[in-house]
Amino acid sequence: MTSKILLSCCVLCVCISQANTQFNKNMYTNMNISFTKELERRQEGRRNCWSPPSELSAEDVIKARSGQQMDLENEPVLRIPVRFIDIHTGSPTSMTQINNQIIVMNRAFSGYYNSEAVNTRMEFVLSEIEAIRSNTNSQGECNPFDSKFNQFQKSVVKDISTVLNIILCRRPLYLGWVLYLPNAGYGRTNPPRAETSHELAVIIDKETMPGGTIGGFNYGYTAVHETGHFFGLYHTFMKHSGFSDGCFPGDLVADTPSEKSDSSSCTSKNTCPDNSPYDAGTDPIHNFMDYSPDSCMHSFTEGQAIRMRQVIAEYKPTGYKAWSDNENNERISVTSTTKTTT
């Protein structure tokens, strides 16, 4: 395995939907976030994620940029089991919709949607569905700012070091989030989360799954975007404290053009001047790690594929070993359980 990426950052991806009208204004006030700005973005039907500031040194940037060398064709296919935790109030998510979500993830990570997209050589296999009937309508279980959330997440997430856990919620405000990147704590004051940490699970609004009810965001690409975070990818427009240039260093991937602000449409734009090798090109509005509507998204880059593998090898070594054992993963079978919370 080639050089490692040792970075420090935390991403809490809180994505806004246009589906409902109920808000908890206090959660934004307490976090010193402009509720008015968030409300405007939601009313416009745009994605939005909140990210605590990262702390990167110039050495970190150089290490990340120079470390992106790998022959993907000679890398083993990583076959990742996926476990869905379906929070519902009486009607579980259909098996058809879950299977379609797996299909979308496999197509997105294989480069199926565009001729210029890269095959990451990562595949996803449905391994388990746990349907949990909630008498609280998911308000506590799926709210990252609710006191019940950490306790609930800890109780339902299983085998996170070797299984991608995706929690399906129906929230009025969020499309999806990942509390921590695998290589990320809060700046340099908090160490990376262990590969066994329940805080690494992916959470999405189930209405973003294929055929869901959230217009513009119902192709299943929210799960693709959040899974990118699960494997260590930043947003293409990532900002870092200590760097005054909004264009640099961005997502720390050399082949994604720099982007000063997120995309909210399919309109081509160039928010960064072409004054360095990393700024060249128009904004990557078709990249799964931008904020474009699902209809615009279609690809990961080679650099992103390499970064994901480097992060997995360094921060998810148990997963890397298990996911590389394709003979064993061929024997994965689907199990289903149900329970009720109060």
**Contacting residues for 51 by C-beta, under 8 A, at least 6 apart:** 10, 11, 12, 13, 235, 238, 239
Distance CA 149, CA 270 (A): 39
Catalytic site residue 226? yes
The residue type at 137: N
Residue located via tokens 């979500």 = 101
* Residues ≥6 apart with Cβ < 8 Å to 212: 97, 205, 206, 218
- CA contacts within 13 A on the Cβ side of 322: 15
Amino acid at 114: N
Q: Which two tokens stand for residue 276?
A: 């360095």
CA–CA separation, 154 and 169 (whole Å): 16
Catalytic residue of the set 226, 259, 302, 314: 226
Q: Is there a contact between 230 and 182 (Cβ–Cβ < 8 Å)?
A: yes
Site of tokens 């022959």? 71
Q: How many other CB atoms are found less than 10 A from the CB of residue 140?
A: 15
The residues near 194 (Cβ < 8 Å, ≥ 6 apart) are none
Chain centroid to CA 341: 27
d(Cα 82, Cα 123) in Å, to the nearest integer?
10
User: Is residue 249 reached through a cis peptide bond, with omega within 30 degrees of 0 on the bond before it?
Assistant: yes
Other Cβ atoms closer than 10 A to 208: 28
Residue that has been written with the tokens 């990557």 in this structure: 284
Active site members: 226
